[in-house]
Structure 1
Amino acid sequence: MKPESSEPRVVLVSELRDRSETRQQHARAARTGAEIRVGHGAYVARLDWDGLAERERYLLRLSAFARTRVRTPTFSHWSAAVIHGLPFIGPIPSELHVTVGRTSGGRSAREVVAHSTEVDAADLTVVSGLRCTSITRTVVDLAATTRRPDAVAAADHFLRTAAAIGGDGAAALLAAWMRAQPMRGHRRALDVIAFADGRAESPLESVSRVSIHAAGLAQPDLQTPFSDGAGRIGFVDFAWPSARVIGEADGDRKYLDAAVRGGRTAERVVLDEKIREDRLRALGWRVVRWRWSTARDQRTLAATLSAVGVPRANTPWRDCAAA
């Protein structure tokens, strides 16, 4: 977290110097709701806390935890994911995740999950004052330990951002995976790395792809460009050329987020989407749309796509990260 003047003041009772402030006063303020306890002996004013987004609150808790430890902690897994800005499918977990050495004797507590594993020096970094695993090691750790949709969304995001700056994200993930060995879940992590695809433009598309694969349907092409006599129509999320089916995963941000709308009203966005879809249909393609609830439900998404002609997979999917 960047130290800024607007950042909420965290009071650490271990650092109290003013005699007018006591540990009991802050504990009492937390009980009455005037302050929020963000860590052991760490408090922040309720008004400041209420003005923070979910991710900012979690980062504040990480900072408070780090400042109250005798030894500087190494945040990993979901905590490192928050630090690096990786996407989340659901809410940010409440637990703090730290990595400790295999021989350190570290144990998990009520709000802290301790992972007993070794981390190569190349996979350690400091972001805004917080020591954590590198983004590549974080993606590998998530791939080895968490649900496949969450892991793929994180890996897709990393590959997309790496490609945007000309990097080889797949090679970087494989290198981090090698340095992490031996690790529990190594095969699972390698499968996620192979499946990840930087062309996915949102977590919704990542989760959809995981469900499509799990349902045994044919592998789609991603971000396929389309044009007609009037010019470029645009890119579509999923396309099955053999079935002439286009799939679009629609999140709410497209319609509700002013930044995403690019100055257009929600009504204008809906109208533009209809015009775009009409042009695609005029080319002889069927267009099917789904939202988050369908993307998460493998059976429902499979039924939706099968109904418009998407075939079952008759060959294994290609490794996406290697493409």
Structure 2
Amino acid sequence: MERVSDAEIVLVRELRDRTETRQQHARAALNGTEVRVAHGAYVGRAEWEGRDARERHLLRMVAYSRTRKRPPLFSHWSAAVAHCLPLIGPVPDRLHVSIGRTSGGRSAGAVAAHSTAIPDTDVVDIDGLRVTSLARTVVDVASMSTMADAVTIADCALRLGLPKTCVMDAWERAVPLRGHRRALDVIDFADARSESPLESLSRVSMYRMGVAQPDLQLPFRDRRGLIGYVDFAWPSLGIVGEADGDAKYLDATMRNGRSADRVVLDEKIREDRLRALGLRVVRWRWEVASRPRELASLLFAAGVPPRAPDDCGAALQLR
């Protein structure tokens, strides 16, 4: 698939052929042979259908940028998409842009405008688009999003190598910012060791329900050597937790050349080795992680205790 920025986008303001009119493209959008991706911008139906939700959002960002007199600054969830950050929920329908505080937010239709001052140091170029930096994107989403989405994005940004100090610097430049305390709590809670959106969601659900804080990505060994790194561990209790996402079994890029059946067998062998050490292994999937009470009940039943009142900053606003 070609880059989104290379897609053939028709801008009606640039039409030179007198036989090609705005009305023709509008009719093509109505009959389904074209798709309107921004005011005065169209792409062919095949171009649109060949893209996934993230690519479609990026395509609309490119089209919107090309139809503006001045390049817009994409922020919040649009910036998260541009930075390839994971989202717990669906890709947003609306584009998100930031404008100066003196301009006032003018959200309309397919575009949400945020009245926020963004210094140049927090602006980057991604494939020709002006986008808030990775650190500023974490701050903006954390100030407004659900905790599950915010922590997922923050964990991923840190895992990509972004120092938490850089996020804190961006937070300080953003203040005063509506939701700044909420954003700070997300930054405090974020952990680069959380390796997937499912693990991030699980951590948030555990914290909300008062589950004792686990260690992350703890290695276990036996006489044969390294068994592996477990997602969650309460080593003093002899309990480990594994969050099982479908990608582990279905995504070829994560199977390292193994078949899905081989992955299942390897996981069984790995779990047997962990149990042979005297560990209790608790597994759960997306459906359980997304229901905090159910996940907490599963862990409490396995012997994980409630969190101590002073453990991991009891005042975090992870709600």
The CA deviation string for residues 37-94 of structure 1, in whole angstroms up to 9 with x for no partner, is 1010111000111111211111110011011112221110001111111111121000
Secondary structure in structure 2 of the residue aligned to 1:136: helix
Alignment correspondent of 1:28: 27
Note closer, same or farther for the CA distance 1:317–1:120 as it changes in structure 2 (3 Å cut). Answer: farther
Name the structure 1 match of 2:291. 297
Aligned to 2:205: 211
Deviations 1:144-174 (A, max 9, x none): 1100010001110111111xxxxx6110010
CA distance in 2, matches of 1:4, 1:239: 41
The change in CA–CA distance for 1:5 and 1:269 in structure 2 (over 3 A counts) is closer
Correspondence for 2:45: 46
The amino acid of 2:226's aligned partner reads: R
Q: What amino acid is the match of 1:283?
A: L
1:141 is aligned to 140
* Cα distance in 1, alignment partners of residues 2 and 252 from structure 2: 29
The residue identity in structure 2 corresponding to 1:131 is R
Q: Which residue of 1 aligns with 2:17?
A: 18
Q: Secondary structure at the match of 1:31?
A: helix
1:3, CA displacement in angstroms?
Answer: 8.2
Distance 2:48 2:124 in 1: 27
The whole-number CA distance in structure 1 between the counterparts of 2:91 and 2:75 is: 14
1:199 corresponds to = 193
- Structure-2 separation of matches of 1:51 and 1:217: 43
Equivalent residues in 2 for 1:1-323, closer than 5 Å? 7-162=6-161, 169-318=163-312
Following superposition, the deviation at residue 5 of structure 1 comes to: 9.8
Contact 2:106 2:113 in 1 (8 A): yes
C-alpha separation between the residues in 1 aligned to 2:244 and 2:89?
17
Provide the residue aligned with 1:165 in structure 2.
Answer: none
Distance 1:247 1:5, change over 3 A: closer
| Distance across 2 between alignment mates of 1:281 and 1:234 | 13
Q: Alpha carbons of 1:272 and 1:4: their partners in 2 closer, same or farther (altered >3 Å)?
A: closer
Contact 2:5 2:127 in 1 (8 A): no
Judge conservation of contact 2:151–2:186 (CA < 8 Å) in 1.
Answer: yes
Does structure 1 retain, via aligned residues, the 8 Å contact 2:4–2:59? no
Relative to the length of structure 1, the TM-score reads: 0.94
| Structure 1 unaligned spans of 5+ | 163-167
What is the rounded CA distance, in whole Å, between the counterparts of 2:21 and 2:54 in structure 1? 29
- Once the two structures are TM-superposed, the CA of residue 4 in structure 1 deviates from its matched residue by 5.3
Q: Distance in 1 between matches of 2:81 and 2:202?
A: 22
Q: Deviations over 1:89-122 (max 9, x none)?
A: 1210001001011111341001111111111121
Q: Aligned residues, how many?
A: 314
Q: Is the 8 A contact 2:124 2:130 kept in 1?
A: yes
**CA distance in 1 between partners of 2:280 and 2:3 (Å):** 51
Secondary structure at the aligned position of 1:239 is classed as strand
**Deviation string for 1:6-36 (max 9, x for gaps)?**
9431101111001121111111111110011
Normalising by structure 2, what TM-score?
0.95
Separation in structure 2 between the aligned mates of residue 304 and residue 123 of structure 1, nearest angstrom? 42
Q: Percent identity?
A: 61
One-letter amino acid of the structure 2 residue matched with residue 303 of structure 1: S
Unaligned stretches of 5+ residues in structure 2: none
**Aligned 8 A contact 1:243 1:311 in 2:** no
Q: 1:152 to 1:4 in 2, by over 3 A?
A: closer
